[in-house]
Every structure is written in C-alpha cells, then in structure tokens.
Amino acid sequence: MKPLFVLLVSTAWTFTGAQYYYQGLMDYLENRLLAIEDQMQLWHEQFHRYHTEMQDFKKLSAQAMEGLKNDHGMLFKDLEGAAVRVDRMEREMDFVEAQTSPRACANRADKVVEQEAWGLEESRGEEEEEEEWEELHSRVSDCVEIISGIRSVKILKRVGSPKGMWTRDPRSSKVYIFNGTSGDTIYQFNSVRDFSRSPGVTPSSNVRLPSEWSGPGNAIYNGYLYYIQQEADADMQVVKYDLLSGSVTETAMFPVESQASVYSLNPETVADLAVDDEGLWLLYATSDSEPNINLAKMDAATLDIEQIWDTRCPRENAEAAFVVCGTVYVVYNTRLPSRSRVQCVFDVNDIVVSEEAPLLYFPRRYGAHSSLKYNPEEKQLYGWDDGYQIIYRLTMKRKLLA
C-alpha cells in the first residue's frame, strides 16, 4: 500500500506544478497582449494626431495656393494693363512724332522760297546775292527734303533667316531678296505683290552670282546690283553686276586697314551701300579702332570715289543706316533689342545737323533691323527685322532756314 500512496502523491504534485506553469505562461501572454494593445492604442492616437495635422497642413497649403493663384491673376492683370498702357503710350508717341514738325537748318534762299516771301535787306547788294546763289549751286546734293516722320508701317511677311536684306529697284517694280548674311544667290520677284503671295524663296526665282556677297549691305539701282565682296585677308571690293545680262561690269577696290564692321550691333555688315535721289553711297569703317561711320559718294557708272566724309556718327550701338537726299540717318538700338531710333544725322551739305533733325522712332517690332534700304521713288524704307519683311512709308518735309 505504501508504494501506491507514494505514486498517487507524486502524480498529484506533478499535476499541480504543471497547472502553476501553464497559469504563469497564460499570465505572461496576457500581459504581453495587453502591452501590445496599449502600444497599438498609442500608435492609433499618434496616427490620428498626425492625420489631423496633415489635414490641417493640406488646408493651409490649399489656402496658400489659392492666395498665390489670386495674386498671380491680379499680377497678370496688372501686367496686361501695363502692356496696354505702354502700347497706348507708344502710339501716342508715334502720333506726336508724326504731327510735330522737325527742326532743321537750310540756306536762307530756301527759307525765302519756303515762306513764299521774296526780299532781302536793302544793305545787301547784287554781289552778295550772286555769292549766295553760287553757294547753292556748289552743294554736293541738290535735294532739299528731310524726313519728318513714319506715316505707316506694313509687315509684309516672314521668310528666311533672322538676318537678311530686301529691296526694290527704284527704276522698276522688281524686288530682290538677300537671305542671310552671305551667299552667292539672290531671289528675284516681279513685284512686291508677287513676293507677298509667294510661299517663300524658291529655286525658280533665284539669281546665281559669280562671287559671294558679304553682309546685308547691298543695293539695287537702275537694273544693276551693287554688292560687297570681302574674303579673308583681302581688301574690300565693290562689285557692279548687270542683272539683265548676268555679267560683272565694274569692280572697285576699297582698301581699309582691317575687316571692321560698320555697325556694332550687326558685325556681319562689313560695309553698307545705299541709294537715294543723288545716286550711290557707301557707309564703312576704316578700322576697328575707328569710332565713327564714314561716308563715300560713289559714281554709280564707274564706281569711282567722288568724295569722303567723317559723319561723326558713332558705330557703337548702331544697327543700320540709310541715306535720303544726301543726308545720312543712323539707326541705333541696344544689345537687348528694344525700340529702334534715329539718333544721329549727317548732311553732306552741312544744312541739317543731328541736334536739329527730327528724333525718329520706329514702332517697336520683333528685334533689331539687320538692314534698312531706302527707295527714293516710293519714299519708303524696306526693313528686315528678325526674318520679317517690313515696309515703312515716310513723310517728307522741305528743309528750312535757321
């Protein structure tokens, strides 16, 4: 009996120990689960707080974006209003410039004719009258007109490179296009209307030259093309080309010290040929160190140089120039293209001076002119502005006495 009792007691003790062990394990697991629940509750509270803060931040961002959008709209409206006011001011300036008579100098006899009053002081004799008339006939140019304003602007089309030149022969209706700043090909059209209706410059209308032209400073006059030819380490050469026969009729060397551009804003223009009522002119610079633009009167038939002047018009910030009635008008701009303006005038007869000539502004367009060519028959300028072909119709006025 004693062994059986001992076995029963051992078994009971074993069951009791296992119960205590499993109870402790369950308590440990329950405590761990409670800790996990507490941690999850903490995470849930933190997530809720972060979510609320994110919602608040989103609302603040949306309000800020809405405010920025409103500010941007108001700023855009202000800029549009400023642009409208600037355009209105420019139109008013153009109107005032067109209505304001330019001041200029001229000979006293011209003033007498202009005012339709004939009379000289009694103290002046016939000898003084003869000397005065002799002075009139000794002028280089007999034309007595100056530009008073731009009457109208016509943007014909846009074709070709940003820089180039186009012009019309004063003695015919043909139009010639020089696309780019150099080449051996030009494009010919029968009229401005034909050019405006054309899809562009086509091979069927081209004229192939025997040599390359350099820069957009070429000219067309009385059926002849006058263009600048300048190769590396060579003197500048003016070439006269017969457009009807297709042959070179004259060439003239024009030695300069270095290959200097005549306009600082258009370095491709090594020289600029111009045509007016008096014939053919050449604008050039003798060297890079020369600050001013020089002018030469050329014989259109032989290309001989008849006379040379220092215009005293600076090359710096100059973009183009043209000649009207023996008066050079130099057009200036800035490195960042803005509004072109005539800021320097030189008259070969010393009648018109820059201080008394009209301050001529061109309506603001696309960039800066790479060329401006005057047509004396039409009283118009043919401009090339950032690939746009533009016609400026001018108003003229007779020169007055000081």
Model pLDDT for residues 44-72, shown as the tens digit of each residue: 888 888 888 888 898 888 888 888 888 88
User: Are residues 261 and 322 located together in one domain of the fold?
Assistant: yes
Q: Which of 79, 99, 119 is the last residue of a domain?
A: 99
User: Are residues 89 and 137 located together in one domain of the fold?
Assistant: no
User: What pLDDT, on the 0 to 100 scale, is given for residue 353?
Assistant: 64
User: Are residues 114 and 159 located together in one domain of the fold?
Assistant: yes
User: Are residues 95 and 111 located together in one domain of the fold?
Assistant: no
Mean pLDDT of 84-92: 70
User: Are residues 253 and 386 located together in one domain of the fold?
Assistant: yes
Q: Which of 99, 127, 155 is the last residue of a domain?
A: 99
Query: Residue 344 in contact with residue 314, Cβ under 8 Å?
Result: yes
User: Are residues 110 and 191 located together in one domain of the fold?
Assistant: yes
Dmax of the chain from CA atoms?
A: 179
User: Are residues 252 and 355 located together in one domain of the fold?
Assistant: yes
User: Are residues 55 and 113 located together in one domain of the fold?
Assistant: no
Query: Could you give the dihedral angle defined by the CA atoms of residues 118, 120, 126 and 128, in that order, rounded to the nearest 10 degrees?
Result: -120
Question: The pTM is what?
Answer: 0.68
User: Are residues 263 and 323 located together in one domain of the fold?
Assistant: yes
User: Are residues 330 and 301 located together in one domain of the fold?
Assistant: yes
Number of domains in the chain: 2
User: Are residues 95 and 107 located together in one domain of the fold?
Assistant: no
Q: Which of 64, 81, 99 is the last residue of a domain?
A: 99
Tell me which residue range forms the domain holding 126. 102-398
**Which CATH number do you get for residue 314?**
2.120.10
Coil, strand or helix at 29: helix
Model pLDDT for residues 170-218, shown as the tens digit of each residue: 888 899 999 999 999 999 999 999 998 888 777 567 899 999 999 999 9
Q: What DSSP line would sit under 62-128, residue for residue?
A: HHHHHHHHHHHHHHHHHHHHHHHHHHHHHHHHHHHHHHSPPP----HHHHHHHTT-----TT--HHH
User: Are residues 173 and 322 located together in one domain of the fold?
Assistant: yes
